[in-house]
Amino acid sequence: MRNAILTLCLLIQTGVFAQEATESRPSPIGLATMRYKDTYVKITYSQPQKRGREIFGGVVPYGKVWRTGANEATEITATRDVVIKGTLLKAGTYSLFTIPEKDKWTIIINRDVGLWGSYNYNQKQDVMRFEVPVVPISDATYEPLTLKFNQRNDVADLLILWDRTSVSIPLKFI
């Protein structure tokens, strides 16, 4: 009898934990991928939602390192070397951080991976850092943060879109 009660309690508890695990995240995982010949590039990020909030200069402060998403730091993986804004990026997995400003963003590719947010960001681990202009979006509002590739043969732009803001990071396959 005691074993039956213990088994029943364990089954109920397992069911409770299973329900918690299947609940959706407020900021779901997003993926952006592209392939050219034998090179594959993947961006893994969490998609926060606008939900009526002021995003840049509000939820995401200007002038501070941002994880470029929610939860874990955004990561970029390349299976072969690629060129990002004229600089060679060796194959591997890196964190993608940004420093948003009103008219430009600083893009940071960093060696540290598996980070929660940008709390443990270490500038000494930066592989590259460069600026890109902000392009306001007048005809649409991106409710979730969206990262996607606009690919043309051996070149592509990684677009970061949220609210009415867009930035573009140029990539070239080699």
- Residue spans per domain, the chain: 26-173
Alpha carbons 28 and 71: distance in angstroms, whole number? 10
Model pLDDT, residue 13: 56
Q: What is the pLDDT of residues 73-129, one digit of tens each?
A: 999 999 999 999 999 999 999 999 999 999 999 999 999 999 998 999 999 999 999
Q: How confident is the model at residue 1 (pLDDT cuts 50, 70, 90)?
A: low
Model pLDDT, residue 25: 72
Looking at the predicted structure, is the pLDDT value of residue 15 above 80? no
The stretch 6-30 carries a mean pLDDT of 60
Looking at the predicted structure, is the pLDDT value of residue 12 above 70? no
And the tokens for 161?
A: 């879109």
Model pLDDT, residue 24: 74
Alpha carbons 147 and 143: distance in angstroms, whole number? 12
CA-angle at 16, arms to 11 and 22, nearest 5°: 120
Model pLDDT, residue 43: 98
Distance of CA 81 to the CA centre of its chain: 20
Up-side HSE of residue 34: CA atoms within 13 Å toward CB? 19
Q: How confident is the model at residue 50 (pLDDT cuts 50, 70, 90)?
A: very high
Model pLDDT, residue 3: 57
Q: Is 42 helix (H, G, I), strand (E, B) or coil?
A: strand
Residue with tokens 């929660």: 116
Mean pLDDT score across all residues of the chain: 90
Model pLDDT, residue 167: 98
The two beta strands, 82-84 and 165-173, are antiparallel
Model pLDDT, residue 16: 46
